[in-house]
Structure formats: C-alpha cells, structure tokens
Amino acid sequence: MNHTIKTNRLDLQPLNESDFDFVQKLRTRPEYFKYENDGAYNDDEITKQFNEFLEGAKNLPNKGSIQWIIKSNDVKVGEVHLWCNWEKTHEWEIGWHFLLEHWGKGYATEAAKTVLQYAFANFRINRIMACPNAENARSTALCERIGMIKEGHVREVRLINGVYYDEAIYGILKREFNPAK
Ligand SMILES: CC(C)(COP(=O)(O)OP(=O)(O)OC[C@H]1O[C@@H](n2cnc3c(N)ncnc32)[C@H](O)[C@@H]1OP(=O)(O)O)[C@@H](O)C(=O)NCCC(=O)NCCS
C-alpha cells in the first residue's frame, strides 16, 4: 500500500527522499518553533527525524509512523504526521505544520480530517491523541474542528526560551470518529 490520499483540493503524499528541502523549510520557520522549540532544528536533527519517518513507514500498519506532504495544485503547502505511541494499546499521535502563507484556507482541517479517516480505516488504531502547546490557539482550534475531545491540560511541561508553557491534551477514539461531521 502506498498510502497516497486525495481530497477535493489536496494531494496527501507519503514522504519520499525528494521532500527533504521542503521539510527543512518547514522546520526552520519561526511559526513552527515558536510553540515547540527553543529555536530552529539544525540539519542533523532534521535529517534524523526525516529518516525516522521514512523508516517508520516500513512498519505500518500495526506500528511505526508516517508523514504526508500536503500539496495543493502541485505546490507543497504543509505536512501531517502520525506515529504509534503505544503499540500494545493501539494509541497513535498526530501532528501538523503548514507554511504560514497557506494558513486560513482550511487546508490543515481538510488534510488532518482525511488522515484521521484514513488511519482509523487502514492502521491498527484505537485512539489518536495530540498535545499542542496550550497557547497555540490555531493548533487547539484545529484539534476541535476535526472532532478531537479536550481531555486534559498539563501545566508547565514545556520550557521554551526560559518560559514555561502548558500543554493541552486532545484525543479521539475510533468508535467516535464520524467522517461526515
Ligand atoms: C496549526 C496549523 C496547521 C493550523 O492552520 P490553520 O490555517 O489555522 O488551519 P486551517 O488550514 O484548517 O484553516 C482554518 C481557517 O481557515 C478558514 N477557512 C477558509 N476556507 C476554509 C475551508 N474551505 N474549509 C475550512 N476552513 C476554511 C477557517 O474558517 C479558519 O479560519 P479562522 O482561523 O479564522 O478560524 C498552523 O497554524 C501551523 O502550521 N502552525 C505552525 C505549526 C504548529 O504549531 N504545529 C502544531 C504543533 S502541535
């Protein structure tokens, strides 16, 4: 299975070697590390993560990981990824990042919802969770738009540039996912 997916407006293509430059561009954008890191990833970290996604895809569908590069009219606009947190309990985690110039068009909602639908149908998953920085309002709004339920709030578990941040915990179970909503 090659896990390519199409929606009305978007192509979701599993990561391949030729996507490295795009991933590097995403990972060095300030809008990415603002809520995630002390600064941009360096090349070694980007390469390590990139290779982990390529390798992880070989272990699907029961475990592993996958990163989809999202294209609109053949232009790369962002990424959505999934990885298996707990193989035994079939819990996976979702994450996303779109280039700032492609925010506010509903691309992230369309892509993330499609990924949930595809993953529940094709991988061995009972629960998908996300843990955005609680101050990342666009990311928490996205969790809610795709039907994830806010399950918790953990305090001061991130330290970015000397400032502590809380995390919001979101989750959705296979039995409650409704693609029509
Ligand atoms: C998180 C992130 C992906 C959300 O992006 P986004 O642009 O807010 O999300 P969408 O693409 O779904 O766009 C939603 C907006 O588009 C609007 N929209 C326009 N056309 C739309 C359409 N056809 N369908 C749905 N929404 C549409 C919505 O009304 C909404 O507007 P609002 O923000 O004013 O409420 C983005 O902010 C990002 O990449 N951030 C940096 C990386 C990051 O922080 N990742 C999270 C780590 S946990």
The yes-or-no verdict on residue 181 having pLDDT over 80 is no
Q: Please report whether residue 110 resides in a domain.
A: yes
Q: What is the pLDDT of residue 114?
A: 97
From the CB of 134, is ligand 1 less than 6 Å away? no
Q: Is residue 61 a contact partner of residue 73, using CB atoms and an 8 Å limit?
A: no
- Going from the Cα of 122 to the center of ligand 1, the distance in angstroms, rounded, reads 25
Q: What is the pLDDT of residue 1?
A: 82
Sign for the CA dihedral angle at 109, 115, 118, 121 comes to negative
Using one digit for the tens of pLDDT, what is the confidence trace for 78-98?
999 999 999 999 999 999 999
From the CB of 109, is ligand 1 less than 6 Å away? yes
From the CB of 102, is ligand 1 less than 6 Å away? no
What global pTM score does this model have? 0.96
Cβ atoms within 10 Å of 138's Cβ, excluding its own: 14
Q: Please report whether residue 31 resides in a domain.
A: yes
CATH number at residue 151: 3.40.630.30
Cα distances (Å, whole numbers) of residue 51 to 39, 90, 101, 128, 133: 21, 23, 27, 23, 25
The yes-or-no verdict on residue 74 having pLDDT over 80 is yes
Sign for the CA dihedral angle at 101, 92, 82, 7 comes to negative
Using one digit for the tens of pLDDT, what is the confidence trace for 115-173?
999 999 999 999 999 999 999 999 999 999 999 999 999 999 999 999 999 999 999 99
pLDDT averaged over the chain? 95
From the CB of 103, is ligand 1 less than 6 Å away? yes
Q: Please report whether residue 18 resides in a domain.
A: yes
Q: Please report whether residue 124 resides in a domain.
A: yes
- Cis check: omega of the bond before 30, within 30 degrees of 0: no
Q: Please report whether residue 181 resides in a domain.
A: no
**Adjacent-strand bridge partners of 128:** 92, 172
- Counted domains in the chain: 1
The two three-digit tokens of residue 154, written as one number: 């953990």
Q: Is residue 96 a contact partner of residue 78, using CB atoms and an 8 Å limit?
A: yes
Ligand 1 pocket test: which of 32, 96, 136 has the largest number of ligand atoms within 8 Å of its C-beta? 96
Domain coverage including residue 42: 5-176
